[in-house]
Each structure stands twice: as structure tokens, then as C-alpha cells.
Amino acid sequence: MRSRTSGLGLLLISPAMLLLAIFFFTPALLTGVFSFTNMSSSTGISGGAYVVTPNLLKALSARGMQPATIEALEEASYSVDADGLAAARAADVDPAFLDEIEARYAGRAYATDSDFLAALKDLPSRPRRIRDLKLAMEPFTKSVLNVRFATEELARTAIAERVAGISDDEMATLLSESYTGWVWTTENFGKLFAGHETWRIIANTIFYVATTLTLFNVTLGLFLAVTTFYLPKKLGAIFTVIWLLPRITPVVLYAIMWKWFTWDDGFVAVLAGELGLPSFNYMKGSVTSAWTIVIMVNGFIGASFGMILFSGALRSIPIQQLWASEVDGATRWQQVRYIILPQLRWPILFVTSYQTLSLLTSYQEIWLTTNGGPGSTTTVWALESFRTALFNYSGSLQYGLGAAMALLLVAVGLMLSIIYLRLFRFGELVTQPKIEF
Amino acid sequence: MTRNFSIWPVVLILLLISAPIVIMYSYLALGTVTTTEPGDLLPSKLALDNWRFLFDTSTAAGNIWIATLNTFVFAASIMVIVLTVSATGGYAMSRLNLPFRRFVLSGIMVMHAFPSVTLIIGVFLVLQFTGLYDTMIGVILVKASLMLPFGIWIMKGFYDAVPWEIEMAGVQDGASRFTVWRRLILPQVRAGLVALGLFAFLDGWGEYVLPRILAPTNDFRVLSIVLELVGNPDRTNYDFDLFKTVGVFYTLPVLVIFVFFQHRLMDIFGGGTKG
Amino acid sequence: MTIMKKTTTLAIASALLSATVFGAMAEDYTISVWAGGSGEESDYRVKAIEIAADLYEQEAAIRGEEVNITVDTQLFSGWDDFKQAVTLAAESGTAPNIIVSGHEDIGPWAQAGILRPMEDYVDFDAWPLNQVYDNLIQVSSFDGKIWGIPQDAESRPFFFWRKNLEGIGYSAEEIDALPQKILDGEYTLYDMLGDAKKMQEAGLVDDMKGFMPRPSNGPDYWQFYQSFGGEMVDAETGKLVFDKRALTDMYQFFVDAVEMGVVPATYLGGDWDTWHGSVSAGKAGAWHGGTWHYAQWTKKNGLDDFFGNIVYTLIPAGNENGRANSITHPLVYLLSTTGSDDDAALSADLVSIASEPRINALHAMKSSHLAIGKEELNVPLYAESRWATEATKNLLPHANALPNSADFGVVWTAMFKGLEASWTGVSSVEDAVNAAEQTVGNALGDKVVYRNHGM
């Protein structure tokens, strides 16, 4: 059955669609695009230029470029000729100064910057500012070395002028190698799977998600919901509040509280010391303790999600069923096992699926506590992707590679979402509107 | 219900597994008014001067009230955007005929769990393009947009639960669909709006990564950034007690809101994108 | 994180006076400066620019020009977010005019077009830049151009607590002779581990505290690579070097240290506060840090008699392949491409003035860094500091710097990951080295020279 589009509906949904398009779809699309580039903090994001540098020439020479070409390009010379003077005049260099240059140095050539600079400094009407002096030098340069050409055409012209009769091959090599911006590549994905480091991070991620999910988000959530359900109302409420604290505490503070709790001189270490147990930095002191803490840090937040959801579902179970079972002499355990759990099947499935996705993409808590250490033992995929693309000590941000990592995460998330949508009989959620106009 | 079980073992187990939280939060509270020597378990002396940052702007925390006001404006703006856009969008998704409705809805469901970390570089480019990089307006829009799928999804759920009869009656009385929504339906989903609003506010209040990355030098400094800066141990005048105190100060409004509106928040049925 | 931000207007010349008397147009400039990895103790990184602006205005007034300079300063306490902020801000055209960062950023940032070459704006043959140490100017150069002006210098030495050495049988003379012994390669890193072990056995220091390296990533770890004969750059081709043998020996050294029980396997990532507390109170046998830690220990940790308690040396050689060494990691003033050419020229002038010995000495002394130029040693403030003069004389001549290369960050990250992995025992040394080689090879290919020494 096909029905008429509601104009009001379009109007009401449009702000949402606009914001989502700008801040969700566009960035997501860009991420997809970036993952096929070698973009990094050295290539920049918005494009590059063409620069022939001494190091580049060294590398090209090692790769067999003609020595004559290399030599011609290497030469950093200035010559005072008619062209240069005209160009300088056009560039608004002080005419009096130019006249002196012409009078004293016409026809001369200088091999290096400092030679020419020294020569110019001798002139009486030289500009006072060093910058102006350097600007006056520029029009006389014949060198392409270390000059940033904004476009390929400019670079081509300059190189051709410098190296007469350069072969097309060499020109092409020079242009492509001297480009400083990013280029398209499909290598990111290959790079990712070339190292066994990647597989460890994948294994870490699976371990982290599975353990946190089963131990905390589901089991503990369930335990909390059921116990607070049976406890007297006031007492139950106290525990509910306690377990909601981690969720509402700002993450910066929450992370530091755990650090304080588990670090060298922290509560756990001191307590362990007094009890005669090994006292060390539990957060980073051993792989087992680091994992335990990472899982607890996230699990303590995650447990409340299940708790709230399950509590809601528990309250909707008809109380008569429970009374009836008690009349029949069922124990609490039997009640939980045969009446409550079966009714919680859907909420449990929902928590499992929803929290799998949240855990897969969570990194803040790990970043602010163990930061993936010791070594990279507690590094998970989302954290690694964040650090690769946006945040690392040496400041070499690899946007392209990071985006590729993110894209893989998105792909996994999409696949899981589709499976879950099937599980939850998505069709039921989109029943047709009952009023048409 | 009969008490056919003993309550104490259960409470004991609950207490045991809640111990880390209880200890951490009590020490946090205690640390704001006392000093503990490193290596000791119990505080040694009372120290109220940890709270002096409230009126003394010379501490590492700077002027805390401006930061508090900023955070409030930040969280409130996010709340307003999320509420209005979700209230309208959710209704459209729930009750009105739209092209590709099924597709959009499943898209929103997927985005609901989308890894926002993966978007940041893209978000940066969008902000740069729109001139909103390093502005708080940009961060607010980004944060609100990232919450939208969740908001729309929740609001759709609340609208779905409103009986069609209310709308039918309104329409039969000759009111336009828009009036029906404003006058009759919105009051029905008030619980949802309150819960979503609270949630959006709390999420905005605690946000940390986005301002840090998308507005690194902005003057509009929020409390999470202040807290991070006070908590940086590389500083020469690093003071852990001050950090704890500022942390408690930062969390207090959240706690107050939480205590007063706890049941409202529960309405959101799970509420949260956090792991 | 951003920790301080302020705007100082240094307009002193009276607009009215100069406008009427000289008829000159007032020129207004706003120059912004960001410094990374800086706390209050190193705020002269940006304050120096304010002082320079003040001087510049006065000089201009004497020339009869009226210049008003507003300096916008910002200190970032960390490196990660500072570098990210600079990169993204540059991309959006809002980078500061002057950037104070580590010299190793010159490579990537120059390639990305974020920077203007400093040499196009200042005269390195004129005062005060002509007295700046040549090796520091070298450190500020990349690919044939000088991109920055050195802001400070330091050295990353090794330290021993005298009492602990005496406790295991060293005489006072032997302790005083230790720095020379280390310089001559007669006392190696393994000798140090042995001594650390002895200190633990004698009960002078706690178990696992015999050797306390830097708790986090830093240029320091490249020193150990050099101790085992590694080179970071191939002198002939200028390419980066991945020395497999040196890296293996270096990883193995830390694994051995763990096995001897002088340092925990999970040491890395520890707390700086705890570290400062331990080393400055003699609870550690041997450690390595930076010359600037002197300020922290003497001012904050209450170490009154530094020279009476501590002996400092170069990082010992690791084996016969390597040498005693130290790395200096100067920060540099850089010019961004943001703003007009005039802004950049003024910024360069300000940086140049800020490099005057007297002004730079303020930073050097407040933050315990070392001088950037010869004349600075004659500034009384600097000359009267025993630590500064000794460190300049004994350590700096043997110090080298990290290479300036757009790709060094990749090698660095790989090196440290491998170190963490083998140190914690997650992978064997061999696997860690291979993984690092693979990462570097994948990312950089033949841009790096791989030295195997027949391994």
C-alpha cells in the first residue's frame, strides 16, 4: 500500500535531517574517502605544493636520475640580469636600491644565498628590514630549489626553464615526487593487515568486548536488577543510585578516581601492602591486573545500563505470577529461573546487541586510564584508531590510516546492526501511520 | 511478597561488589576537606582550604564561576537543540508518512551506535569549511547532532506509545495535524521530553573530548577542560586535593539533578551511549 | 592541555604625541604565540616575546614610528594535544604567528606547508643570532633551509646518588671519576645494572628501584639506541636509519634489567610525581632524566644539596658498538604561514629580539634549561648558576639531536611500541624488533636505510 507523503512530516523531520547530513553523513563520507589516501600531518589535509628539495634530489640521484639534471636543479644561483631587474621592479623593490644593484652588480652571478646577501648589504640604500632585503633578492633567483610551487604548471615551467631539454620521464618523476600533498592509495588496508600487531589489537578488542559484556553489562546488570527488585524499596534504591554514579560522573574525574584507587600509592596498593599481598601499580603493573581494571572501569559504567533496562522489564511482570508461584512453594531461585529470566529474554538480547556496539567504539575510559598499556596489551581498535589519526606523542597524525581503521570499525558495526535489526523484527517498529493526510 | 529468603547474604554480596565505587566516592568526598599523606589509608588532618578556588581565582583552576557558567550554557544549548529537533523529528518518524521512512529509521538505529571517534577528522573539515572550527557554537552543534539519533529514537518510542485515538479525536474536531501535535500529543510525551532533556544536559555537562579537539584555544572554557588542566601532574604546583575538590564541584550539579530527577531519568529506559 | 591564555597589550607610545609630532601612521599588530609542553616554570617561552614586543615598540618610537603590538600567548602543558591543535589550526588558517615546538616537528610541518622558512626573515649573521651555537642552528634546519630559531637547549644525563654508590664500596674519588670513566666507555650500562643490583642487595634502595628510567616516552630512549651503536641518520644519504642490531641490543638491555630485578616489567607509564619523589630522595640507585629536572628537584622536592648528593654523567655506552652520549632536544621558534608577510616579518623580528642572551637567560634559569648561544654564558644570571654552567660545559658538547625528517615520527612510534612490548614481556625481543622493522618498512619503504650488521 502506497500512501501520500506528509508535507508536515517533511517539515518536522527536516531540522534533524539537516543536522545529521552536515555533522554525521558528511563526516562519515569524508572518513570513507580519507581511508583511501595517505593523508597525514606531513601531507596536510587541504592539498599540497611542488617543492624540489636537496633531500629529494639525493634520493632521485640514488635512483638513477641523470647527474646533469640533478646538478642543474641543485644549483642555487642568483644572477643580476635584465629579466631579474624587470621582475624586481614589478615586485615593488625600492627603485633607488635597484639602480644601485644595476650599477654595481649588473651581469654578475652568485652561487649562494649568503654571497648575494653579503653583496647587497654593501649597498648604501639597502632596506633596513632583513625581510625587505630578502624580498629584493627573490626576483633574481634562478633556482627552483626549495621553492614552493602552488600548481603543477608553475613547477613544470620553472623546472623546464632550469633544466633545458629535460626528458618527459624525468619531468614526470620530478613532479610526482616533489608533490607534498596527499595522494590516493589503497595501501592503508594492506598496511593494517601486514603486521601481527593488528591481529593482537583485534584479539584485545574481542576479549575486551566479550568479557566486559558478559561479566558486567549483562550478568552484573541482571544481578543488580533482580536483587534490588527483591530488596525493600529504600534499600534497593540506595544500590541503584550507587551503581548509577559511574555513569553520571564526568569521565575525566571518573578515570582519575580509578587511577588514584589503583596506582602506586593508591588505595589498593596500600591496602594490599598492609595485608601482605604484592603492592604495586595495579593499573599498569601487570597485564592481568591492567585488564581487570580496564574491564572494571568500563563494566562499572556498563552495568547500570542493564540494571535500568532489566529493572523496567521486571516491574512489568504481572505480580500475580510471582505470588502464584510462591503459593506453589517455589523458592526465590526457582522464581528467578523459571519466571523472571524467560521474560527477560528480549531485554537481555537488546542489552547484548546494543552494548556490543557501544563497547566496540568506546575508547575514552581506556585512553584516560591505562592508555592501552602496559605495552599495547590493553589497546583496543577504537583507541588505536584515535591515536593513529588524532593523538600521539610524536605528533605524526596519520589521518588516512586512522580513517581506514575507523572505516573497518564502521563496517563491523554496520554488519552487527543489520543482524540485530533482523533479530528485533524491525518491521514491527515501522508500522504504517493510521491517519492519512 | 513473603520473605522466603534471608535478605542479609544478598545485601552483603551487593555491598562487596559495590565496595570499589563506595570507597572511591567516599574518598573523593573526604579528600575535599582533608589531607592524606601518601602511603596512608586514612586522612590525617582537616583542610578546608581545598575549596578556596571558589573565590580565589589565583589557583590553577582560574575563575571557576566563568567556567561553570560556560559549561551551563554549553549543556543547556545542547539540551535545547536535542529536545526541539528530536521532538519534531521523532513525531514525524512515528506518525507521519515520509518517503524512505523505513530506510531512514534503520539508518538512525545504526547511527545510534555509530563510533563518533571515526568521524572527528571529517567533522573537523566540515567545521573548517563552515568557519565553525575553534568556536563553541561548532562544538555545540556537533555534540547535539551526535546525540540526535539517540534522541529521535527515544522520542519515537514515546510517540509510538501514545494512543491513536487522541489524534483521531483531534483530527475529527477539525484541528490541523500540526495543532494536534502541539496541543494534544506533546503533553502526552512530557515524560520523554523531560528524560531526554535531562539526559542531554548531563551528557553535555560531562563532555570532554569534543571541546578539547574542536575548540582547543577557545576562550569559552568548560569545566571538563579546567578539571583536566588542574589534574595534570606535570605542573609544578600540582595539587591532587585541589583536583578532587574541583572534581566534586563539577559533579555536584549532576548529582543534584540526578537525586531530584532520578525517576524521570529512568524513564529513558536505559539511557546512554556510554559503554 | 591549554593551561594559560592571556592577551597583553603593550601599547606604551602615546598615539596623540607621535601622530602630531611625527605625523606617522600608527601601526597595530596582533601577534599570537603558542608553546607546547610548557607549564608556569617555562612561561618565558612566550613571555620573552612580550618583552621583545615592548623593546620593539620603544625602538620604533625612537625611529619615529608608532607600532602597537598586542601579543596573544598560549601555553599548552602537553605535547599530544598541542601538536594536534597546531596541525588542525594551521589547516583552518588560524595557527598562531609564532609556534614554539620541538625541532623534530620542522620536517612534517615544513612539508605540509605550515611553516615559513625563518632564514627568509632574519639575518643569521647579525646580532643576536650570530652568537647562537652552530649545532643548534643545524638542529633548526631541514632540507637545506633554516626553519627556526633555537629557543632552548638541554641535555638528558644519567644520575647516581652518591651515598648509594658509597654504600656499595665506591670511594669519593672513584665517584668523582665516574663521569670520565663513562665518557671513555669504561663503565657501561651493564656495569650500571650490576651496581644497581648491589644497591638493592645492600638494602640501600628498595627492590625494583635500582634503576629508574624515564617513566614515559621521550627522546631519552633514543639515547640507549645510540649507546648500543645505533645511528638515527645516515650521514652520507641523509636518510633515516633503522639499525636492527642496536635496537635488538637496546631492547635486550631493558629485558635484562627486568630479569635482574632492578626495574619492573611494567615500569613504563608510571607516575611522574612518584618518580620525582623517589629519585630526588635517593630512593633510586641510578636514573636518567633531563637537565631541567634540576629545577623540580631543588625547588619542589626539597633536594637542598644537589652536588653533594648526586653525580651526573652522560648515558653510558651499552657495549663496544656504542658510545656514551646524550640527546639534546631543543625547542625552536617557528613562523607559521598564517597571517600576512608583514606579520611574519614582525614575528621574526620579535623572535630575534627574544633570543638576546639576557632575555633567553631568563627562560634558561627559570626552567633550568641551557644556553642557546656563546654570549649567554656571560650573562650574570646564567653565569652564577653552577648547574647551568657545568651542564653546558660537561654535557652539551657530547649531545646530539633527533633528526629533522618528515618521517621520523613513524620510526619513533615504532621504536617505542617495540620497546614497550619487549620490556613488558609481551613479545620476545626478536619479535618486537621484527614488528618495528615491519611497521617502518610498510610505512616508509626505501626512505629508510636498514642496517643489519649480518644479523
DSSP state, residue A283: T
pLDDT tier for residue C17 given thresholds of 50, 70 and 90: very low
Name the grid cell of A43.
Answer: 601531507
Rounded Cα distance between A368 and C42, Å, is 25
Q: Is the pTM of this model over 0.90?
A: no
Q: Which of A31-40, A414-423, B107-116 has the lowest mean pLDDT?
A: B107-116
User: What local confidence, expressed as pLDDT, does residue C12 receive?
Assistant: 41
Q: Which amino acid is at A360?
A: L
Interface test with B, best of A430, A432, A436, A437 (most B CBs within 10 A): A430
**Cα radius of gyration rounded to whole Å, chain C:** 23
pLDDT tier for residue C3 given thresholds of 50, 70 and 90: very low
Rounded Cα distance between C158 and C187, Å, is 12
- What is the enclosing helix (H) or strand (E) of C29? strand C26-35
Is the Cβ of B38 closer than 8 Å to some Cβ of chain A?
A: yes
User: What local confidence, expressed as pLDDT, does residue A335 receive?
Assistant: 83
CA nearest neighbour of C88 among A184, A53, A108, A45: A45
- What region does B32 belong to: left with phi over 0, alpha with psi -120 to 50, or beta? alpha
Task: Give C312: exposed, middle or buried? Use CB within 10 Å, 0-12, 13-18, 19+.
Answer: buried
Interface test with C, best of B132, B236, B239 (most C CBs within 10 A): B236
User: What local confidence, expressed as pLDDT, does residue A121 receive?
Assistant: 85
Find the CB nearest B85 among A19, A296, A326. A19
Report which of residues A376 and C347 the model is more confident about. Answer: C347
User: What local confidence, expressed as pLDDT, does residue B163 receive?
Assistant: 85
Please say if the pLDDT value at position C1 is more than 50: no
Q: What is the largest CA-CA distance in chain B?
A: 75
Any idea where the domains of chain A sit in the sequence? 76-142, 190-430
User: What local confidence, expressed as pLDDT, does residue A433 receive?
Assistant: 52
Tell me how far CA of residue A220 lies from CA of A39, A211, A348, C148, in angstroms.
43, 12, 12, 57
| Chain A residues in contact with C423 (beta carbon < 8 A) | 375
Share of chain A above pLDDT 90, in %: 11
User: What local confidence, expressed as pLDDT, does residue B274 receive?
Assistant: 30
From chain A residues 386-425, the ones with a CB under 8 A of any chain B CB are 386, 389-390, 399, 402-403, 406-407, 409-410, 413-414, 417-418, 421
Name the grid cell of A173.
Answer: 618523476
- Closest-CA distance, C343 to chain B, in angstroms, reads 20
CA within 13 Å, CB half, C171:
2
Name the grid cell of B162.
Answer: 501514545
- Pick A190-430's CATH classification: 1.20.1250.20, 3.40.50.2300, 3.40.50.300, 1.10.3720.10: 1.10.3720.10
- The pLDDT tens digits for A237-272 are 888 888 988 888 888 889 888 888 887 667 888 888
Is the Cβ of A258 closer than 8 Å to some Cβ of chain B?
A: yes
pLDDT tier for residue A112 given thresholds of 50, 70 and 90: confident
What is the number of H-type helices and E-type strands within chain C?
19, 17
| Chain B residues in contact with C75 (beta carbon < 8 A) | none
Please say if the pLDDT value at position A209 is more than 50: yes
Rounded Cα distance between C190 and C316, Å, is 9
- Pick C158-327+407-451's CATH classification: 3.90.660.10, 3.90.1650.10, 3.40.190.10, 3.40.1800.10: 3.40.190.10
* Main-chain phi, psi angles of B25, to 5 degrees: -75, -35
Interface test with B, best of A23, A322, A334, A340 (most B CBs within 10 A): A23
The distance of Cα C119 from the centroid of its chain, to the nearest Å, equals 22
| Nearest chain A alpha carbon to B98 | A5
User: What local confidence, expressed as pLDDT, does residue A248 receive?
Assistant: 82
| Nearest chain B alpha carbon to C1 | B229
Any idea where the domains of chain C sit in the sequence? 2-154+329-400, 158-327+407-451
Rounded Cα distance between A366 and C123, Å, is 49
| Chain C residues in contact with A280 (beta carbon < 8 A) | 264, 266
Q: Which residues of A257-266 are buried (b: 16+ CB within 10 A; e: fewer)?
A: bbbbbbbbbb
Name the grid cell of C38.
Answer: 610548557
User: What local confidence, expressed as pLDDT, does residue A342 receive?
Assistant: 84
B233·C84 Cβ contact <8 A: no
- Closest-CA distance, B56 to chain A, in angstroms, reads 22
Rounded Cα distance between C239 and C244, Å, is 15
CA nearest neighbour of C352 among C43, C9, C51: C51
Q: Which residues pair with A79 in a beta bridge?
A: A109
Rounded Cα distance between B197 and B208, Å, is 19
| Chain B residues in contact with C39 (beta carbon < 8 A) | 234-236
Instruction: Classify A114 as helix, strand or coil.
Output: helix
What is the average per-residue pLDDT within C277-303?
Answer: 87
- The pLDDT tens digits for C416-445 are 989 988 998 878 999 899 989 988 888 888
- The answer to whether domain B72-222+261-266 has CATH 1.10.3720.10 is yes
Interface test with B, best of A19, A29, A264, A366 (most B CBs within 10 A): A19
Contacts of residue B34, defined as CB under 8 A and 6 or more positions apart, other chains included, come to B43, B44, B45, B46, B47
Tell me how far CA of residue B147 lies from CA of A217, B108, B144, B249, C259, in angstroms.
22, 11, 5, 25, 50
Task: Count the Cβ atoms, other than its own, within 10 Å of residue B190.
Answer: 11
| Chain C residues in contact with A399 (beta carbon < 8 A) | none
- The pLDDT tens digits for C104-121 are 899 899 999 999 999 999
Summary mean pLDDT of chain B? 80
Contacts of residue C228, defined as CB under 8 A and 6 or more positions apart, other chains included, come to C245, C246, C247, C249, C250, C253, C318, C319, C321, C322
Q: Which of A218-222, A431-435, C273-277, C325-329 has the lowest mean pLDDT?
A: A431-435
A296·B247 Cβ contact <8 A: no
Q: Look-up: residue for cell 525493600?
A: A232
DSSP state, residue C26: E
pLDDT tier for residue A426 given thresholds of 50, 70 and 90: low
From chain B residues 125-184, the ones with a CB under 8 A of any chain A CB are 125-126, 130, 141-142, 144-146, 148-149, 152, 160, 164, 167-168, 171, 177-178, 181
pLDDT tier for residue C454 given thresholds of 50, 70 and 90: low
Q: Is the peptide bond before C213 cis (omega within 30 degrees of 0)?
A: no
B128·C92 Cβ contact <8 A: yes
User: What local confidence, expressed as pLDDT, does residue A325 receive?
Assistant: 83
Is the Cβ of A13 closer than 8 Å to some Cβ of chain B?
A: yes
Instruction: Classify C374 as helix, strand or coil.
Output: helix
User: What local confidence, expressed as pLDDT, does residue B275 receive?
Assistant: 30
Rounded Cα distance between C363 and C41, Å, is 8
Contacts of residue C16, defined as CB under 8 A and 6 or more positions apart, other chains included, come to none
| Chain B residues in contact with A44 (beta carbon < 8 A) | none
Please say if the pLDDT value at position A144 is more than 50: yes
Is the Cβ of A227 closer than 8 Å to some Cβ of chain B?
A: yes
Given a contact cutoff of 8 angstroms between Cβ atoms, the answer to whether A146 and A52 are in contact is yes
- Residue pairs between chains A and C whose CB atoms are closer than 8 Å: 162
CA distance from start to end of chain C: 44
Find the CB nearest C81 among B124, B216, B235. B216
Any idea where the domains of chain B sit in the sequence? 7-50, 72-222+261-266
| Nearest chain A alpha carbon to C439 | A195
- What is the enclosing helix (H) or strand (E) of C312? strand C310-313
| Chain B residues in contact with A231 (beta carbon < 8 A) | 7, 10-11
C2·B229 Cβ contact <8 A: yes
User: What local confidence, expressed as pLDDT, does residue A107 receive?
Assistant: 83
Interface test with B, best of C42, C88, C275 (most B CBs within 10 A): C88
Q: Which of A281-295, A422-436, B102-116, C66-80 has the lowest mean pLDDT?
A: A422-436
Rounded to the nearest 10 degrees, how much is the dihedral formed by the CA atoms of A392, A397, A399, A401?
-70
**Can you identify the CATH homologous superfamily of domain C2-154+329-400?**
Periplasmic binding protein-like II (3.40.190.10)
A27·B273 Cβ contact <8 A: no
What is the average per-residue pLDDT within C180-195?
Answer: 93
Name the grid cell of A362.
Answer: 568506546
Name the grid cell of C82.
Answer: 598541542
Q: Which residues of B137-165 are buried (b: 16+ CB within 10 A; e: fewer)?
A: ebbbbbbbbbbbbbbbbbbbbbbeebeee
Find the CB nearest C81 among B212, B219, B235. B212
CA nearest neighbour of A95 among A134, A62, A125: A125
Given a contact cutoff of 8 angstroms between Cβ atoms, the answer to whether B101 and A427 are in contact is no
B213·C84 Cβ contact <8 A: yes
- What is the enclosing helix (H) or strand (E) of C287? strand C286-288
| Chain C residues in contact with B212 (beta carbon < 8 A) | 1, 81
- What is the enclosing helix (H) or strand (E) of A421? helix A399-423
* Main-chain phi, psi angles of A323, to 5 degrees: -60, -45
Rounded Cα distance between B3 and B9, Å, is 13
Q: Is this complex scored with an ipTM above 0.85?
A: no
User: What local confidence, expressed as pLDDT, does residue A235 receive?
Assistant: 87
Interface test with A, best of C143, C268, C427 (most A CBs within 10 A): C143
Please say if the pLDDT value at position C24 is more than 60: no
DSSP strands (E only) in chain B: 34-35, 45-46
| Chain C residues in contact with A134 (beta carbon < 8 A) | 120-121
User: What local confidence, expressed as pLDDT, does residue B5 receive?
Assistant: 63
Report which of residues C25 and C130 the model is more confident about. Answer: C130
CA within 13 Å, CB half, C429:
14
Rounded to the nearest 10 degrees, how much is the dihedral formed by the CA atoms of B197, B203, B204, B207?
180
- Closest-CA distance, A193 to chain B, in angstroms, reads 19
Hey, which chains touch B, using 3+ CB pairs under 8 Å? A, C
Rounded Cα distance between A379 and A388, Å, is 12
Q: Determine what percent of chain C falls in helix, strand and coil, rounding each to the nearest 5.
A: 50, 20, 35
What is the average per-residue pLDDT within C211-224?
Answer: 91
Tell me how far CA of residue C364 lies from CA of A176, A254, B71, C377, C402, in angstroms.
44, 38, 38, 11, 21
Highest mean pLDDT of the ranges A204-213, B196-205, C140-149: A204-213
Rounded to the nearest 10 degrees, how much is the dihedral formed by the CA atoms of A412, A414, A419, A420?
110
| Chain C residues in contact with A375 (beta carbon < 8 A) | 268, 417, 420-421, 423-424, 426
Q: What is the largest CA-CA distance in chain A?
A: 117
B105·A402 Cβ contact <8 A: no
Name the grid cell of B33.
Answer: 576537606
Report which of residues C213 and B116 the model is more confident about. Answer: C213
User: What local confidence, expressed as pLDDT, does residue C267 receive?
Assistant: 83
Please say if the pLDDT value at position B73 is more than 90: yes
User: What local confidence, expressed as pLDDT, does residue C372 receive?
Assistant: 92
Output A426-429 pairs: Cβ under 8 A, ≥24 positions apart.
A426/B105, A426/B106, A426/B109, A429/B105, A429/B160
CA nearest neighbour of C193 among C163, C224, C215, C219: C224
From chain B residues 106-135, the ones with a CB under 8 A of any chain C CB are 124, 127-128, 133-134
Find the CB nearest A382 among B117, B254, B273. B117
